[in-house]
C-alpha cells in the first residue's frame, strides 16, 4: 500500500524532530536547546515542503486529502472535528506560553564580548590590541626554560584556578557545581582556542567585574585576579592553559 | 510574441522610410564626442578657476581640521529623527541605485548574446529589462537628491567637512550623472531605432559607455563612504592634505567596490526576476506566460551566478576590515554584531533554498527531467543540513534547565559548529549542491550521444566526491586540529576546491553533451505558480539582506562620522539593538517594494492603451 | 487584482518573518552607549566658564596653589595688576614680553626667564626659579589650558581679560588623567623620577631646593621604608612638625608606577 504523501511529509518532519531529540538528549547526553530546535525544525519543514511541492502533480497529491477534508460533503464529521481541534490546539499553546511559570527568564550572555582597545590593568593603561605574552617567545628560544615557565604556571593554576575550572581544565572543578554560569571549559574548541593571549590576560586580570556592558548580566564569579596574582604569574598561567589543552592561541600573523 | 512582432514591424517600416539613419548616427557620435570635449573643457575650465582660487588663497586658507561637534550642532527639524530619515533615504537610494547600475550590466551582456546568436528573444528581453530600470532611474535620482538634502539638513557640519575633501569628486560626480542620463536615454529610446548591422554595434557601444559611466559613478560614491570608514589623505586631526586620490583610494575602497559590484548584479537579477514573476502571474495568455517564464529563468540564472561568488567577496571585505583595524574587525564579527551574522545566515539560506526550489520547479518544463528528479531529495537533505550547520550560533540561547543539564553554556556537539571552519565548510557545500541542481536542470532536456557518456558521468561523480571530501577534510582538520592561524587560511583552499569543481564539471559536461539531442521541446510556461513566489522571496530576501548588511557596514563606525577623526556627537550616535535596526530596515524595505511595484505597474501602463469610443472628433 | 494582493501579502509576510526573527528569535543585546566625551568644547564656552576652567586648573592639575598661596613660598598672584609692569621695567628683566599677558605666559612656560628677588632656588642668586615649566613635565598644560589659567589670573587680579578663548585648538581635557593617552614608559633612573614628579619643588634632597616640605637629605636615617611609603601615597597621614597639611599632592599613587615607587623608596631609605 502506498503511503499518502501528506502522511509521508508529516512522518519525515516528525522523524527529524524526534531524531534530534533522541540523538542529542539520549544518545549523546547533550540536550539540544529548544530555541535552536525550533529554528532547525522551521527550516527542515521548509525543506520538506520544497521537496514535496516542486512538481505540480505531486503537489496535488499532497494537498488532496486536505482539499477533500475541506470540500468533500462526505467528510463532514471529520471536518467538524478537525475544525474544532485546531483552534483548541492553538488556544492551548497560547495559554501554555502565556501562563506564568517558575522558570527564571532566559539570560543571555555574550561569552566572548569584544574587548575594549585598551584596559587599565595593574594601574597601567594597556593596549589590548598589541599586547603579547612576554614569555611566548621563550618557547622557541629556550624550550627548557619554557617548560619551567609552564610548570610555574601549572603551580599557580593548581593553587588558584582548579577549584572552579578543574584539574583537567574541563570546567569541572570541585566548586563548579555551585556556580551559574558554570566555569569555562578550556578543553572545548570554542573557548581559549578561539582567542588571543591578550584576551585571556584581559579576562583573567579584570574578571567578572571587568566585563563590558554587552556581556551583561554580570553574573560571572570570576575574581579580579590582578588583585591577587602578579602580572608574571598570570602570563605563566596562560602558557599553562594552552600547553595543557594542546590548543594554540589565536594569532593574526603566521 | 504578438507585441514583439508588432514592434518589429513598426521598426522595419520606419527604417525603410528613413534612409538617413546612418548619417544621423554619425552626426550623433560626433555630437557625443563634442559633448565629451565640451565636458572636458568645462572640467578644465573649472579646474583652472579652482586652481586660481587655490593660488590666491593658498597662504591664508589651508585645509581645516574636522570640526569637534556638540549635540547642539545637529539641527532638530520639526522634531523629526534626522538619523532615521537619512538612514531610510540613503537605503532607498542605494537599493534603486544598485538596481539601476546592475541592469545595464547584464542587459549589455544579453544584448551581446542576442547579437551573437541572432535570437531576437534575447534582444527583446534586454529591452524589457532596461524598460523596467528606466523608471527606477528617475526614482534613483530623486532619492539621491533627497539624500543630499536630508544630509545637509540634519548633518550640515559633516556634509561641509566631507565636501571640503571631496569637492572635486562631487563636481565630477554631477557631470558624470548628466553623462549617465544622456547615454541611458539614448540607449533606451534608441533601442528600436539602432537595429541591424552597424547600428546595432553603435547601440552596443552605447551600452558599454553606459556601464562605464555608471560604474565610475558608483566608484566615486563608494570613495565617500569608505573614506568615512577608513579615512586617508588626512592627518589625525582631519586636516586634508589636498591629495584627492589618496582620499578616494583609501584602504577599504577596493574591497567595497568589488563586493558592491558583484552584489549589485545579483540584486538586479533578483529584482527583474520578481518583475518577470509578477508578469507571469498576471499573464493573460499562454504566450505571455512562456515569455515571462523564460525571462524569470534568465533573471534567476543571473542572480545565482552573481550570488555564488558573493560569499567570497564578503570574506575578502571582512578580512580587509580586520587588516585595517582589528578593533573594527572584532566589533564586526564578535560582540554585539555577532548575532547579526546569524540573521544574515538565515537570509542567505533563504536565498539558496528559494533559488534551488525555483530550479527544481523549472525541471517540469522538460519531459526528460524525470531522470533527475529522484536526486532532488538528496540535494535537499544536504542543503538543509549544511544550512542548519551554517546558522548554528556560537552562543546558544539556553534556558536555565538546559544550562544545568549541559553543565555550562558550552555545548559539546553544537559548540564546534558555531565557529568559522564549520560555517565555511557548510557554505562551500551549499554552493556545490546548488550548482548540482543547476547541472541537473541543464541536463534535464538533453540526451548525450557520445560513446563515453558513462565514463564521463563517473568522472563527474569522482570530481564532486573528491571536491566535497577535500572541503570536509580542510574544514575539519584545519578547523579543529591545528593552529588557529590555519582556520582562516583553510577557507582559501576550500574556495579554490569549490571553484575547481564548478568549472571542471561545466567543462566536462559540455564535452559529454556535445552533439546531444533534445528530449523534446522545452515547455516554457509549464511551471507551478509557487515557483514565482520563490522568485519574489529571492527579491525580498535580497532587499532585506542588503539593508541589514548596509546597516552593519555603516554601524561598525559606531559613534564616529569619520572613524577616529570626526565624532558623531548627536543624540542619535548610539548603536541600536539588532531588533531596532531590523525594524528600520523592514520599514525601508516595504517602502522600497511599494515603489518597485509602482515601477512595474508604470512599465505595464506605458504599453497599454485605452480607446475611448466617441471621445475624439471623428 | 487578487494576484496583486497575494503578491503584496506574500512580501509583507516574508519581511514580517525576517523582522520577527530579528526581534524575537535572537537575543537583543543593547550595545554600550558611545563613551562620554570628557573633552570640553571650547567653541561653546563663555568667558566666565573659561575663567572657571582656569581656576580649576590652577587649584587642580596645575598644583599652582601649593606655592602661590598666602604662605609666601612664591610670589603672590593677586597683585599682578601692578607687579607685572614693575617687573617688565626691572633692569634685570631680559625676557621678551612687552605686556602683562605675555609676561604671564612667559612665567608659566619658562619660569627662569625672570626670577623675582628672593624667590630663586637657593644658591643661584635668583637666576633660577624652583617652579617647573607648566607646559611640560607632570603638569603639561596644553595651549588652551595655559590661556585659561591666564584668564583666571587676570580676572582674579581685577584686570581686564585680554586673552581670547582659542577655538581652533585641541580641546582641553579636564580630567587629570588622559584616558586615551599612551601609557608612558616607567622611569628607571632616580633622577628622572624626582624630576618628573617635581619633588624638589618643595623638598630639598641633595642640593638646596624647595623648603615647602621637609628636608629629605638624610631622611633614611630617621624614617623606615613603610613610613616613607605611607608618606608618599597618603601624605596627610603623618605631618612632620612645622609643616602644612594638604600641601603635598595626594594623588601620587595614581601617577607613579609601582616600579618607580620602589626605586624611589630604595633611594630615600639609603639617604643617611
Which residue's C-alpha cell is 578593533?
A: B327
pTM above 0.80, yes or no: no
Give the pLDDT band (50/70/90) at residue A254.
very low
Which chains form contacts with chain A, at 3 or more CB pairs under 8 Å? B, C
Cross-chain Cβ contact A54/B395 below 8 Å = no
Flag whether pLDDT at C167 surpasses 80. Answer: no
Query: How many CB atoms are located within 10 Å of the residue B287 CB?
Result: 15
Q: Nearest CA to CA, how far is B572 from chain C (Å)?
A: 10
Element counts in chain A: helices (H) and strands (E): 9, 2
Which of these, B120, B121, B138, lies nearest to B184 by C-alpha position?
A: B138
Cross-chain Cβ contact B483/A183 below 8 Å = no
- What residue spans define the domains of chain C? 42-156, 190-270
**For C190-270, which CATH class?**
mainly alpha
CB pairs under 8 A between A and C: 27
CB pairs under 8 A between B and C: 93
Secondary structure letter of residue C173 according to DSSP: B
Q: Which candidate from A54, A185, A193 shows the least CB-CB separation from B408?
A: A185
Strand partners, A118: A127
Which of these, B294, B340, B299, B342, lies nearest to B526 by C-alpha position?
A: B294
C17: its cell numbers: 518573518
For residue B212, the model assigns a pLDDT of 92
Flag whether pLDDT at C69 surpasses 80. Answer: no
Instruction: Tell me the per-residue pLDDT of A45-95, one tens digit each, with 9 for 90 and over.
Output: 999 999 998 888 888 888 888 888 888 888 888 889 999 999 999 999 999
Q: Nearest CA to CA, how far is C32 from chain A (Å)?
A: 6
For residue B589, the model assigns a pLDDT of 94
Please say whether the beta carbons of B575 and B555 come within 8 A: yes
Query: How many CB atoms are located within 10 Å of the residue C46 CB?
Result: 9
For residue A20, the model assigns a pLDDT of 92
> What's chain C's length in residues?
272
For residue C16, the model assigns a pLDDT of 94
Compute the distance between CA of residue B503 and CA of residue B112 in angstroms, rounded to an integer: 23
Which residue's C-alpha cell is 581645516?
A: B64
Q: Is the dihedral of CA B67, B71, B74, B75 positive or negative?
A: negative
Q: Which candidate from C30, C31, C183 shows the least CB-CB separation from A124?
A: C183
Are C42-156 and C190-270 equal in CATH topology?
yes
Helix axes B453-473, B420-443, angle to 10 degrees: 170
Secondary structure letter of residue B492 according to DSSP: H
Q: Which residues of chain A make contact with B338, given a CB cutoff of 8 A?
A: 110
Q: Which residues of chain C make contact with A110, given a CB cutoff of 8 A?
A: 29
C202 Cβ contact partners less than 8 Å away, ≥ 6 residues apart: C66, C67, C210, C211, C212, C213, C247, C248
Q: Nearest CA to CA, how far is B557 from chain C (Å)?
A: 11
Instruction: Tell me the per-residue pLDDT of B202-228, one tens digit each, with 9 for 90 and over.
Output: 888 889 999 999 999 999 999 999 999
Chain A within 8 Å of C31 (Cβ-Cβ)? Answer: yes
Counting as low any pLDDT under 70, the low residues of chain B are 1-62, 326-327, 334-335, 407-409, 481-489
Which of these, A10, C16, A59, A8, lies nearest to B531 by C-alpha position?
A: A59
For residue A101, give Cα distances in angstroms to A96, A109, C25, C200: 9, 22, 20, 70
| CATH code, C42-156 | 1.10.760
Q: Which candidate from C18, C24, C41 shows the least CB-CB separation from B70?
A: C41
Largest pairwise CA distance in chain C: 103
B194 Cβ contact partners less than 8 Å away, ≥ 6 residues apart: B25, B200, B202, B203, B206
Nearest CA in chain A to B331: A114
For residue C237, the model assigns a pLDDT of 79
Which of these, B3, B91, B63, B99, lies nearest to B600 by C-alpha position?
A: B99
Cross-chain Cβ contact C34/B574 below 8 Å = yes
Q: Which residues of chain A make contact with B399, given a CB cutoff of 8 A?
A: 33-34, 103, 106
Please say whether the beta carbons of B155 and B82 come within 8 A: yes
For residue A34, the model assigns a pLDDT of 86
Q: Nearest CA to CA, how far is B123 from chain A (Å)?
A: 30
Q: Which candidate from B537, B558, B586 shows the least CB-CB separation from C19?
A: B586
- What residue spans define the domains of chain A? 5-98, 118-245
Q: Which candidate from B347, B533, B583 shows the least CB-CB separation from C10?
A: B533
Q: Which residues of chain A make contact with C258, given a CB cutoff of 8 A?
A: 122-123
For residue B488, the model assigns a pLDDT of 59
Give the pLDDT band (50/70/90) at residue A110.
low
Query: How many CB atoms are located within 10 Å of the residue A125 CB?
Result: 16
Compute the distance between CA of residue B476 and CA of residue B423 in angstroms, rounded to an integer: 11
Q: Which residues does C contribute to its contact with B (CB < 8 Å)?
A: 3-4, 7-8, 10-12, 14-16, 18-19, 21-24, 26-35, 37, 39, 41, 43-44, 168, 170-171
Cross-chain Cβ contact C26/B339 below 8 Å = yes
Q: Which residues of chain B make contact with C168, given a CB cutoff of 8 A?
A: 65
Flag whether pLDDT at C158 surpasses 70. Answer: yes
B291 Cβ contact partners less than 8 Å away, ≥ 6 residues apart: B1, B121, B524
Which of these, B468, B383, B481, B475, lies nearest to B424 by C-alpha position?
A: B475
For residue A106, the model assigns a pLDDT of 66
Q: Nearest CA to CA, how far is A144 from chain B (Å)?
A: 22
Cross-chain Cβ contact B586/C171 below 8 Å = no
- Round the average pLDDT of chain C to a whole number and report it: 77
In this prediction, residues A234-251 reach a mean pLDDT of 85
Compute the distance between CA of residue B179 and CA of residue C217 in angstroms, rounded to an integer: 83
Cross-chain Cβ contact C44/B70 below 8 Å = yes
> What's chain A's length in residues?
254
Nearest CA in chain C to A37: C25
- Round the average pLDDT of chain A to a whole number and report it: 83
Q: Nearest CA to CA, how far is A115 from chain C (Å)?
A: 12
Please say whether the beta carbons of B228 and B563 come within 8 A: yes
For residue C173, the model assigns a pLDDT of 47
Please say whether the beta carbons of C115 and C128 come within 8 A: yes
Q: Which candidate from C7, C18, C28 shows the least CB-CB separation from B586?
A: C18
Residue B615, SS3 per DSSP = coil
Q: Which candidate from C11, C18, C29 shows the least CB-CB separation from B347?
A: C18
Query: How many CB atoms are located within 10 Å of the residue A83 CB?
Result: 12
For residue B316, the model assigns a pLDDT of 85
Compute the distance between CA of residue A99 and CA of residue A79 in angstroms, rounded to an integer: 30
For residue B258, the model assigns a pLDDT of 93
Which of these, B130, B150, B133, lies nearest to B97 by C-alpha position?
A: B133
Element counts in chain C: helices (H) and strands (E): 10, 0
Query: How many CB atoms are located within 10 Å of the residue B347 CB?
Result: 22
Query: How many CB atoms are located within 10 Å of the residue C175 CB?
Result: 11
Cross-chain Cβ contact A182/B409 below 8 Å = yes
Q: Chain B neighbours among A 172-231 (CB < 8 Å)?
A: 172, 176, 180-185, 188-191, 193-194, 212, 214
Chain A within 8 Å of C36 (Cβ-Cβ)? Answer: no
A165: its cell numbers: 575550572
B429: its cell numbers: 557545500
* Segment among A150-159, B166-175, C12-21, C200-209 with least mean pLDDT: C200-209
Please say whether the beta carbons of B366 and A60 come within 8 A: no
Report DSSP letters for B441-467, one per residue: HHHTTEE---TTHHHHHHHHHHHHHHH
Chain B within 8 Å of A43 (Cβ-Cβ)? Answer: yes
A138 Cβ contact partners less than 8 Å away, ≥ 6 residues apart: A145, A146, A149
Chain A within 8 Å of B182 (Cβ-Cβ)? Answer: no
Q: Which candidate from B322, B396, B403 shows the least CB-CB separation from A36?
A: B396
Please say whether the beta carbons of B171 and B46 come within 8 A: yes
Q: Chain C neighbours among B 54-73 (CB < 8 Å)?
A: 65, 68, 70, 72
Q: Which residues of chain C make contact with B541, given a CB cutoff of 8 A?
A: 14, 18
A128: its cell numbers: 589590548
Tell me which of B59 and C205 has the higher pLDDT: C205
Chain C within 8 Å of B336 (Cβ-Cβ)? Answer: yes
Which residue's C-alpha cell is 534613483?
A: B140
**For A118-245, which CATH class?**
mainly alpha
Q: Which candidate from A43, A106, A251 shows the least CB-CB separation from B485?
A: A251
Amino acid at each position: 500500500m502506498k503511503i499518502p504523501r501528506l502522511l509521508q511529509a508529516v512522518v519525515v518532519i516528525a522523524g527529524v524532530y524526534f531524531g534530534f531529540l533522541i540523538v542529542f538528549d539520549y544518545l549523546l547526553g547533550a540536550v539540544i536547546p529548544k530555541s535552536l530546535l525550533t529554528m532547525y525544525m522551521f527550516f527542515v519543514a521548509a525543506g520538506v515542503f520544497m521537496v514535496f511541492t516542486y512538481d505540480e502533480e505531486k503537489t496535488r497529491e499532497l494537498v488532496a486529502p486536505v482539499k477533500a477534508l475541506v470540500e468533500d460533503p462526505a467528510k463532514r464529521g471529520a471536518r467538524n472535528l478537525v475544525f474544532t481541534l485546531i483552534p483548541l490546539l492553538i488556544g492551548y499553546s497560547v495559554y501554555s506560553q502565556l501562563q506564568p511559570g517558575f522558570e527564571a527568564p532566559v539570560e543571555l550572555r555574550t561569552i566572548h564580548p569584544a574587548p575594549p582597545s585598551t584596559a587599565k590593568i595593574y594601574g597601567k593603561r594597556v593596549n589590548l590590541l598589541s599586547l603579547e605574552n612576554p614569555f611566548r617567545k621563550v618557547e622557541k628560544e629556550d624550550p627548557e626554560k619554557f617548560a619551567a615557565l609552564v610548570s610555574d604556571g601549572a603551580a599557580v593554576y593548581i593553587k588558584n584556578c582548579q577549584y572552579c575550572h578543574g584539574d583537567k581544565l574541563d570546567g569541572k572543578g570541585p566548586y563548579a557545581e555551585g556556580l551559574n554560569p558554570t566555569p569555562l571549559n578550556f578543553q572545548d574548541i570554542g573557548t581559549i582556542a578561539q582567542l588571543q593571549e591578550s584576551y585571556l590576560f584581559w579576562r583573567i586580570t579584570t574578571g567578572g567585574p571587568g566585563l563590558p556592558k554587552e556581556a551583561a548580566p554580570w553574573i560571572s564569579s570570576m575574581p579580579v585576579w590582578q588583585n591577587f596574582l602578579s602580572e608574571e604569574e598570570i602570563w605563566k598561567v596562560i602558557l599553562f592553559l594552552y600547553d595543557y589543552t594542546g590548543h594554540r592561541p589565536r594569532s593574526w600573523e603566521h | 510574441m504578438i507585441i514583439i512582432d508588432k514592434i518589429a514591424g513598426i521598426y522595419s517600416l520606419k527604417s525603410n522610410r528613413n534612409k538617413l539613419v546612418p548619417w544621423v548616427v554619425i552626426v550623433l557620435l560626433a555630437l557625443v564626442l563634442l559633448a565629451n570635449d565640451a565636458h572636458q573643457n568645462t572640467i578644465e575650465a573649472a579646474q583652472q578657476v579652482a586652481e586660481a582660487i587655490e593660488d590666491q588663497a593658498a597662504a591664508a586658507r589651508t585645509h581645516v581640521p574636522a570640526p569637534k561637534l556638540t549635540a547642539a550642532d545637529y539641527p532638530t527639524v520639526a522634531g523629526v529623527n534626522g538619523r532615521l530619515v537619512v538612514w531610510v533615504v540613503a537605503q532607498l537610494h542605494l537599493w534603486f541605485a544598485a538596481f539601476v547600475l546592475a541592469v545595464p550590466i547584464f542587459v549589455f551582456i544579453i544584448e551581446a548574446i542576442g547579437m551573437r546568436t541572432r535570437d531576437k528573444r534575447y534582444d527583446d528581453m534586454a529591452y524589457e529589462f532596461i524598460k523596467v530600470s528606466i523608471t527606477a532611474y528617475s526614482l534613483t535620482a530623486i532619492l539621491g537628491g533627497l539624500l543630499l538634502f536630508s544630509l545637509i539638513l540634519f548633518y550640515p557640519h559633516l556634509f561641509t567637512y566631507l565636501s571640503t575633501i571631496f569637492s572635486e569628486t562631487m563636481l565630477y560626480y554631477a557631470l558624470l550623472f548628466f553623462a549617465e542620463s544622456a547615454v541611458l536615454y539614448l540607449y533606451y529610446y534608441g533601442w528600436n531605432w539602432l537595429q541591424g548591422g552597424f547600428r546595432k554595434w553603435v547601440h552596443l557601444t552605447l551600452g558599454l559607455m553606459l556601464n562605464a559611466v555608471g560604474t565610475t559613478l558608483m566608484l566615486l560614491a563608494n570613495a565617500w563612504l569608505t573614506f568615512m570608514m577608513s579615512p586617508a589623505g588626512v592627518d589625525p586631526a582631519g586636516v586634508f592634505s589636498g591629495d584627492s586620490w589618496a582620499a578616494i583610494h583609501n584602504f577599504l575602497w577596493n574591497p567595497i567596490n568589488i563586493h558592491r559590484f558583484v552584489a549589485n548584479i545579483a540584486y538586479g537579477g533578483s529584482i527583474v526576476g520578481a518583475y518577470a514573476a509578477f508578469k507571469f502571474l498576471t499573464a493573460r495568455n499562454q504566450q505571455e506566460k512562456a515569455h515571462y517564464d523564460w525571462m524569470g529563468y534568465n533573471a534567476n540564472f543571473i542572480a545565482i551566478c552573481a550570488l555564488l561568488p558573493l560569499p567570497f567577496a564578503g570574506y575578502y571585505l571582512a578580512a580587509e576590515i580586520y587588516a585595517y583595524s582589528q578593533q573594527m574587525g572584532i566589533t564586526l564579527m564578535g560582540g554585539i554584531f555577532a548575532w547579526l551574522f546569524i540573521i544574515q545566515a538565515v537570509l542567505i539560506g533563504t536565498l539558496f533554498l528559494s533559488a534551488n526550489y525555483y530550479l527544481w520547479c523549472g525541471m517540469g518544463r522538460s519531459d526528460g527531467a524525470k531522470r533527475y528528479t529522484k536526486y532532488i531529495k538528496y540535494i535537499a537533505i544536504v542543503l538543509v543540513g549544511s544550512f542548519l550547520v551554517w546558522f548554528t550560533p556560537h552562543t546558544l540561547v539556553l534556558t536555565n534547565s538546559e544550562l544545568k543539564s549541559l553543565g555550562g553554556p558550552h555545548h559539546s556537539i553544537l559548540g564546534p559548529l558555531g565557529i568559522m571552519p564549520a560555517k565555511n565548510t557548510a557554505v562551500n557545500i551549499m554552493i556545490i549542491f546548488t550548482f548540482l541542481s543547476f547541472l541537473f536542470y541543464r541536463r534535464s532536456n538533453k540526451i548525450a550521444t557520445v560513446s563515453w557518456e558513462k565514463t564521463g558521468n563517473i568522472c563527474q561523480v569522482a570530481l564532486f566526491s573528491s571536491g566535497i571530501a577535500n572541503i570536509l577534510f580542510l574544514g575539519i582538520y584545519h578547523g579543529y586540529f591545528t593552529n588557529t592561524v590555519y582556520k582562516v587560511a583553510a577557507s582559501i583552499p576550500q574556495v579554490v576546491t569549490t571553484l575547481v569543481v564548478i568549472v571542471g564539471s561545466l567543462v566536462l559536461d559540455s564535452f559529454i553533451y556535445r552533439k546531444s539531442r533534445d528530449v523534446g521541446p522545452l515547455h516554457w510556461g509549464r511551471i507551478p505558480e509557487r515557483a514565482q513566489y520563490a522568485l519574489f522571496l529571492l527579491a525580498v530576501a535580497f532587499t532585506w539582506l542588503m539593508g541589514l548588511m548596509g546597516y552593519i557596514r555603516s554601524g561598525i563606525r559606531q559613534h564616529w562620522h569619520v572613524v577616529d577623526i570626526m565624532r558623531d556627537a548627536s543624540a542619535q550616535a548610539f548603536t541600536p539593538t539588532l531588533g531596532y535596526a531590523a525594524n528600520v530596515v523592514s520599514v525601508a524595505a516595504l517602502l522600497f517594494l511599494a515603489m518597485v511595484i509602482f515601477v512595474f505597474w508604470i512599465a505595464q501602463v506605458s504599453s497599454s492603451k485605452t480607446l475611448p469610443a466617441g471621445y475624439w472628433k471623428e | 487584482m487578487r494576484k496583486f494582493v497575494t503578491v503584496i501579502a506574500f512580501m509583507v509576510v516574508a519581511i514580517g518573518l525576517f523582522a520577527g526573527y530579528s526581534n524575537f528569535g535572537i537575543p537583543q543585546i543593547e550595545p554600550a552607549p558611545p563613551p562620554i566625551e570628557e573633552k570640553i568644547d571650547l567653541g561653546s564656552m563663555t568667558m566666565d566658564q573659561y575663567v572657571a576652567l582656569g581656576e580649576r586648573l590652577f587649584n587642580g592639575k596645575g598644583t599652582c596653589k601649593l606655592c602661590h598661596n598666602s604662605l609666601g613660598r612664591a610670589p603672590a598672584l593677586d597683585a599682578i595688576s601692578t607687579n607685572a609692569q614693575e617687573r617688565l621695567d626691572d633692569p634685570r628683566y631680559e625676557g621678551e614680553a612687552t605686556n602683562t599677558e605675555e609676561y604671564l605666559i612667559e612665567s608659566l612656560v619658562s619660569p627662569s626667564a625672570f626670577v623675582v628677588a628672593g624667590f630663586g632656588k637657593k644658591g643661584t642668586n635668583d637666576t633660577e626659579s624652583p617652579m617647573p615649566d607648566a607646559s611640560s613635565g607632570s603638569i603639561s598644560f596644553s595651549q588652551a589650558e595655559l590661556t585659561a589659567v591666564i584668564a583666571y589670573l587676570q580676572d582674579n587680579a581685577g584686570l581686564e581679560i585680554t586673552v581670547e578663548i582659542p577655538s581652533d585648538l585641541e580641546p582641553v581635557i579636564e580630567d587629570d588623567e588622559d584616558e586615551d593617552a599612551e601609557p608612558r614608559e616607567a622611569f628607571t633612573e632616580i633622577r628622572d623620577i624626582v624630576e618628573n614628579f617635581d619633588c624638589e619643588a618643595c623638598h630639598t634632597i641633595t642640593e638646596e631646593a624647595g623648603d615647602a616640605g621637609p628636608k629629605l637629605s638624610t631622611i633614611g636615617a630617621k624614617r623606615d621604608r613603610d613610613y616613607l611609603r605611607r608618606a608618599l601615597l597618603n601624605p596627610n597621614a603623618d605631618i612632620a612638625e612645622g609643616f602644612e597639611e594638604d600641601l603635598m599632592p595626594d594623588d601620587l599613587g595614581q601617577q607613579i608606577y609601582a616600579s618607580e615607587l620602589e626605586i624611589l623608596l630604595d633611594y630615600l631609605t639609603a639617604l643617611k
